[in-house]
Chains A and B, each alone.
Chain A
């Protein structure tokens, strides 16, 4: 079966979170008969349980549809799903590289939001044809005309090109499919050239080893071909090749322009890299595909097994995880408080939470996460420059000339009545105001320069609550700037707990130290011994709290001969204690290591 690229369309859907991307994907699958209504589970592309719960798409997926267009031709449509959240712009660009077009979905009741804008720019940069769609037009609060105007301003299209749809009410679905066929260019490349295939995703299958998701850019890939993974230089035998329908469907070959999967007996997780080019092992192409830009982690934190004997299991889980989440960076580190673990780099705080949750759910790991931080540039008096991604590794104050921290440009879109709240929040977070423009008379686009450290914990939650949920937010790395930063240590019974150290602005340090100590006093339970909590900058103690020893914990009765009952009560308590980390004599519950995250809620 030879498929001419003329009849292939590769596209993705981009949207701000909750604008209806997943529902639209479901409708396309349904309309093309890829899946029947009966089989339909809502939001079929989001097959990770976590995605369904959070209603966001974390990982890219791909699926192939067959569509008979109004021109009577049969087309193969490859839909490559993309995540919408700002943390995942790296994954978005990964998906975009495998497409020629993008459906841009905007919610008719919300209009253009921050992530709409950032995703559109990524798609335009990648040279994609944009199909603008206004979704949810059946809702009463739909503002179709205003949103049309916003789209015209944003992408410079004609009003007539904008499609109107409601994925939920199944309106306008066919028009979208027709637009994909008509407007998205067919893939270039010929099946006769030497093979070049882009790996845009990969996952580990416990029976088959590594499954790579690929887009054939040039040439043809057949079963039993020898395939060369360009970056690693390793050659494997192509065991199974196919397309991604609801399940993997073997086809024996894939030709230029098409999207599918490859199983090549790759067992080692490190041998596949997303973004790498697959070539023919016997006649390799002259040069690889451009690949992806390097991921830049923005937020760092320590991940430790709750029980130190599970270190190797965690290492293994991270290696498997990394295979389909190239954005996760990790390296082993040691903490005096927590033992052996890993310092991990994440795209943002949401990414961090998701990694942690998936490690717990899918890989059955119980992990302690330390307070997230950014990467600091420390210029020593000797002129030496250090990059510090762990506060505990900060050199002594005497040796430091100055410290620089990363700044971002933040874009906040919100109804104009909330401008004051947003301004105040950003100023509290050491923001530098840049300017405000209006998307329409009622909505402002506010730009600030902010230290990244000030937005990694709870900025977005705060922003949402201060704007009654209306604000949308995006940011982009800007530069490193010198700041008055100090390392704040926490001591438990006189010993510094490295995993609780943080880097804070000098002006906020006293307040911070006081709140953190108070928070820890609430989180650490009473125990057999007094616990003294101190916050210190260098050798100077700036706050102190203490937890007096427990006075009573004894059950008077032993229930006659029913020793089992007492033992079971005890076993439960014992397990609870085992989950805590023992630091010196102090038992510290896992939540304490993230105490800082909830600090701003303290009075």
Chain B
């Protein structure tokens, strides 16, 4: 029954933060009392997966959160032991740890390196103290810069820095300065996100009661343009809506998500995709711990993708990477894009026509969801 798997990705969710950020809607808590139980539950989950599945080969490992850099090297070692027990981790694996520049013991970074980590991702977000304060980040700009330097000294050759733009009242000058300082850190990868007002966050309540007024759409469009243009000029290729990398430094783990490849997530709220099925764990640490301790499955939902859902995801994910390949759609799904649609999006300047593969322009990226919705509303899988 064993089937050939290409190499999978492994995601580990660390659901603790020193302080929850104002805008963040990933699952994380400030109460760390269940930390010991959590590590043991995680070990149980990872080893349990090994019992019910054949030993899979993995080539990316990603510690996300939350704040994974809160993990002591001993805790991380304990988790890795379970990972190696269950998976065959390739020698050339990409091994990422997300770090909060304000909650990173620099000594830890060296030890993570010894444990195999080779990529760090810093949630820098901004270089202005008032913006960091608005985002309720606990670090300062200088702390962030120091963290990146220390990481370099520790020998990390693959570093990502996260930036958030289009904050309320942010000017284009401020954004220029943030971009300039990010680039001066010479990271290998930059994720630059337009601030999203997510439901259920304190930010969304603040917007609802009028105490925060989000940026105007026109400003967001202009800033997105500015980010794309600046980073491309500086040699970062724009390979996903909000992601830029020096050639060869695209995040292999995230590419698994975006290329509909397989990955297994562990920890509360972690998502997995294997053999055409998606599932995700409960977003509650206490439930997660008790599920693991009593041998229960912690998946809060599962879905087996229908052909239409696979098609929708394929189109969605490819367009987010700026790709439209009409021949691949025909080959994989039997869907022929209409001339009206194709000639429309090209003549409107959303794509540049490089032969078979269409490349999304900056103008196209700004309306990527609209293009996706329009394409899918007008093309269905053949019956």
Contacts and interface: CB of A to CB of B under 8 A. Distances in A.
A binds B: yes
Interface of A: 527-529, 549-558, 560-564, 566-567, 570-571, 573-574, 577-578, 582, 584-585, 587
B11 A560 contact: yes
30 contacts: A528-B344, A528-B371, A528-B374, A529-B348, A549-B348, A549-B367, A552-B217, A552-B221, A553-B366, A554-B367, A556-B193, A556-B196, A557-B196, A558-B241, A560-B11, A561-B257, A561-B265, A561-B271, A563-B257, A563-B273, A563-B278, A563-B317, A567-B312, A570-B316, A570-B373, A570-B376, A571-B312, A573-B373, A574-B312, A585-B344
A584 B369 CA distance: 21
Q: Which 4 A-B pairs have the closest CB atoms?
A: A577-B377, A561-B271, A553-B370, A556-B194
A-side interface mostly: loop
Nearest to B220: A552
Given A552-B220, A561-B11, 20 more contacts: A528-B345, A528-B367, A550-B367, A550-B370, A551-B221, A552-B221, A553-B373, A554-B241, A554-B366, A556-B193, A556-B194, A558-B241, A558-B320, A560-B64, A563-B260, A566-B316, A567-B309, A567-B313, A584-B340, A587-B377
Contacts of A552: 217, 220-221, 224, 366-367
Contacts of A584: 340
A554 B369 contact: yes
Contacts of B95: none
B374 A527 contact: yes
B91 interface: no
Contacts of B26: 560
B100 interface: no
B236 interface: no
Contacts of B365: 554
A410 B368 CA distance: 56
A555 B348 CA distance: 21
B45 to A, nearest CB: 15
Contacts of B258: 558
A558 to B, nearest CB: 6
A506 to B, nearest CB: 37
Nearest to B164: A556
Contact of B271 (A527, A554, A560, A582): A560
B122 interface: no
A552 B365 CA distance: 9
Contacts of B280: 562, 564
B348 A551 contact: no
B271 to A, nearest CB: 4
B372 A564 contact: no
A383 B373 CA distance: 53
B263 interface: yes
Given A528-B348, A561-B257, A566-B316, A574 B220 contact: no
Given A561-B270, A571-B312, A574-B373, A551 B218 contact: yes
B151 to A, nearest CB: 22
A546 to B, nearest CB: 15
| Most chain A CB neighbours (cut-off 10 Å) among B242, B317, B345, B374 | B374
B242 A557 contact: yes
Contacts of A555: 196, 241, 369
A583 to B, nearest CB: 12
A148 to B, nearest CB: 60
B258 to A, nearest CB: 7
A3 B345 CA distance: 78
Contact of A577 (B221, B260, B373): B373
Contacts of B350: 528
A4 B193 CA distance: 87
Nearest to A530: B348
A95 to B, nearest CB: 47
Contacts of A560: 11, 26, 64, 257, 271
B362 to A, nearest CB: 11
Contacts of A563: 257, 260, 271, 273, 278, 313, 316-317
A165 to B, nearest CB: 54
Contacts of A587: 374, 377
Contacts of A574: 312, 373, 376-377
A573 B376 CA distance: 10
Interface string B272-308: 1100001010000000000000000000000100000
Interface in B327-383: 340, 344-345, 348, 350, 365-374, 376-378
Contacts of B377: 574, 577-578, 587
A562 B271 contact: yes
A562 to B, nearest CB: 5
A234 B317 CA distance: 63
B360 to A, nearest CB: 11
Contacts of A529: 344, 348
B369 A553 contact: yes
A587 B376 CA distance: 13
Contact of A556 (B221, B241, B265, B303): B241
A528 B309 CA distance: 23
Contacts of B193: 556-557
Given A529-B348, A553-B370, A585 B340 contact: yes
A567 B372 CA distance: 11
Contacts of A554: 224, 241, 365-370
Nearest to B278: A564
Contacts of B344: 528-529, 585
B310 to A, nearest CB: 10
A549 B365 CA distance: 14
Nearest to A566: B316
Contacts of B366: 551-554
B194 A577 contact: no
A564 to B, nearest CB: 5
Contacts of B265: 561
A551 B367 contact: yes
Contacts of A570: 312, 316, 369, 372-373, 376
Nearest to B219: A552
Contacts of B370: 527-528, 550, 553-554
A513 to B, nearest CB: 28
Contacts of A549: 348, 367
A561 B8 CA distance: 13
A558 B372 CA distance: 14
Contacts of B320: 558
Interface in B118-152: none
B272 A561 contact: yes
A497 B283 CA distance: 51
A556 B348 contact: no
A240 B365 CA distance: 69
Nearest to B312: A567
Contacts of B240: 558
Interface in B205-262: 217-218, 220-221, 224, 240-242, 257-258, 260
Contact of A561 (B273, B348, B371): B273
B378 A582 contact: yes
Contacts of A571: 312
A551 B217 contact: yes
Nearest to B240: A558
A570 B320 CA distance: 12
Contacts of A561: 11, 257, 263, 265, 270-273
A585 B339 CA distance: 11
Contacts of B221: 551-552
A493 to B, nearest CB: 11
Nearest to B166: A556
